[in-house]
Amino acid sequence: EPPYTPKDFSCHTQDMRTITCTWRPGGETYLYGQNSPRYTLSETLSQKNNFCKVSCPKQCSCSWDRGQQRIWNVTVTVENILGRKTATDVFDVNHRMYPTAPFQVWGERTDTEITLHWSYRNYRIELFCQTEVVQPDGKVELLNSSDAASHHRHITVRGLQPHTEYKARVRCGAAKHFWRWSEWSQPLTIRTMEGTPLGKLDIWREITPVLGGRNVTLFWKQTPSFRANGRIISYEVTWQKKEHGSKPERISVPSVYNSTRIFIDNHSCRISIMAKNKVNFSLPSVLIISRATDNSKKILFHSFLGTEELKEGQVNGTDDGIFISWEPRSLYDSYVIDWCNFPRLQPCDLQWKRFGPNTSSAVISSAAFVPGVRYKFRIYGSVTNKASLLEKKTGYLSELPSQLDPTVKKVDLTYNSVTLSWDFNVTNESEPGFVRGYHVYVSPIQGNCNLKGSKKHILSDDSELCKYTIENPEEKSYTVEHLMPNTKYKVAVKGFTGGGETPIVNFMYIDTPYNSNLLYIIFLLVIAPTLITAICHWKMKWVKECCCPVIPSPNKSKVLSFKEFKIGSEKVLKISDCTPDVLAMDNKTEAQKL
């Protein structure tokens, strides 16, 4: 194809002595070797023709000595065997200044200022320079300067943070007839000097009553508004009784620690902590520990016994953390919540967070919170640097099922019921959830369960159980009624939490006894009559002779055993009392005697 018109054709000078023109090929001609496009520069005003010939594939340039000429009309011609094209640039060389990049950039510093210095070549023209300062957060600040008095330029950047690293670079352009910025200089990394720490530390404490006084563990951390303004060397801890005339005590804690323990007696005590760097101390953060009272002695007594006076309320986890609320009091100017990220470690890493006086709830979040771990929170009210414990809370990020089953201690059986009694420690802090109650499961070995008052529960193998729910975790006994006598059952007791319960693994097997009342009734109605009948049948002659003989014998008749038939020791049957069917002489001699 014939050549295309060159693109981006322009000319400039970097030292007021040499002119350089640059351009890019307009397109692909698909001609190569001797037939590839050829570029030629010519100047109309000086009538210089073909003073620069080049052949370039991508980026093209051509330079020459300007002499004393100021106005230029330069034409670039591209041609091949199929045609030619041209592009023209008319310019004043004073208006086409494109300086070289500044060099030898260096800086001076204080804690809040940086003064940058740089050099550039003598162009015999005033330059306008721009400095770029990149702050640690990535924010970019541009500052302009112009100084024609010397070839060594400088600029001062103020309002910087102490002991902070900045990056800076410089570029320049013509102050008059500005055309284009130079390339940036090599970047300079510079750190401001250290300054006095700004702000106060956030401090907290944990008080442990001991004999003769109290152990106070002090904690501190840097708040978002605190600026160390240097490398912290140490933390200076000072404490002093508030009574007049007492002398302060001091310790210096290395910067690698964020806590320490001191001992104080039962008097009121003022504690202050300051951060120290090479320049100065920060402002002191103050805590006031009140005088130990009788209540403190009670707390000590209860701590020895392992009991607590203040009851713990339960709190619930959310998607963002653990939600805690408390009753606000107008007396306090702030509230503090403290907790342990790892409560199973001793000593735990105490954490705390402060809230304003108008706050009565918060979501406590931590990357250390995991499901199934019980976390304890203490809520304090603070006024004039004095803190008082207000409430205690305990809860989980999310509850998990209990891994332990209640231990059945006693089983009382009747023919139609079973009473189960069990033990379970609902206050066990290692439990992965709060025990909300219990489930009692019952089912006969053969067949499904359909006991009155129960709910159906389906196991993974599709077998059915009867389920009873006890919603009071302190109630540890239950009676299952309406069982069948002489039947084998399987039973189980499970504790459930807010996270549910684990699957049933082990059953207890019981056998209900026979119904004794039913046996008695059967004996009376069936066995006794049958036995009597059998005996009567076996002794039929004796029974007949005894109860209804053909000829009654007065001496043998049971009828004559009553008193009214007795006269002395003899049994007498009055003939007038009955109508005999047969009269017979039993014994003539006896008859005569009678």
| 357-393 residue pLDDT tens | 999 999 999 999 999 999 999 999 999 999 999 999 9
CATH topology of domain 309-396: Immunoglobulin-like (2.60.40)
7-95: what CATH class? mainly beta
Q: Any idea which fold 407-512 has? A: Immunoglobulin-like (2.60.40)
Q: Is the predicted pLDDT of residue 295 greater than 90, yes or no?
A: no
Query: Taking the chain, what is the end-to-end CA distance rounded to the nearest angstrom?
Result: 174
Going by pLDDT thresholds of 50, 70 and 90, the confidence category of residue 28 is confident
Fold of 201-295: Immunoglobulin-like (2.60.40)
CATH number of 103-191: 2.60.40.10
Closest CA to 404 of 380, 382, 378, 372: 372
Does residue 535 carry a pLDDT above 90?
Answer: no
Report pLDDT digits (tens) over 73-129. 999 999 888 999 999 999 999 899 998 899 999 999 999 999 999 988 766 778 888
Mean pLDDT across 209-229: 93
Do the domains 201-295 and 309-396 sit in the same CATH topology, yes or no? yes
Residues 396, 317 contacting (CB under 8 angstroms)? yes
Domain positions in the chain: 7-95, 103-191, 201-295, 309-396, 407-512
Q: Average of pLDDT values for 4-28?
A: 89
CA 464 to chain centroid, in Å, comes to 38
How confident is residue 56, by pLDDT bands cut at 50, 70 and 90? confident
CB 374 within 8 A of CB 396: yes
Distances (CA, A) of 93 to 17, 75, 121: 10, 15, 18
CB of 489 closer than 8 Å to CB of 480: no
Tell me what pLDDT residue 174 has. 87
Per-residue pLDDT tens digits for 388-411: 999 999 999 999 999 999 999 999
Q: How far is the C-alpha of 500 from the C-alpha of 485, rounded, in Å?
A: 33
pLDDT at residue 567, as a whole number: 56
Spatial neighbors of 381 by CB under 8 A, at least 6 apart, are 329, 331, 332, 334, 335, 387, 388, 390
CA distances for 36 relative to 76, 79, 92, 254, 492, angstroms: 16, 9, 33, 75, 95
CB-based contact 384:288 (threshold 8 Å): yes
Report helix, strand and coil shares of the chain as percent, to nearest 5.
Answer: 10, 45, 45
Mean pLDDT calculated for residue range 303-316: 66
Give me the pLDDT at residue 557, please: 54
> Which residue type sits at 345?
L
Instruction: Give the whole-angstrom CA distance, residue 507 versus residue 442.
Output: 9
Q: Which two tokens stand for residue 570?
A: 């003899």
- Which one-letter amino acid corresponds to residue 280? N
pLDDT tens profile 466-503: 999 999 999 999 999 989 898 999 999 999 999 999 99
Q: Please, are residues 131 and 188 in contact by the beta-carbon 8 Å criterion?
A: no
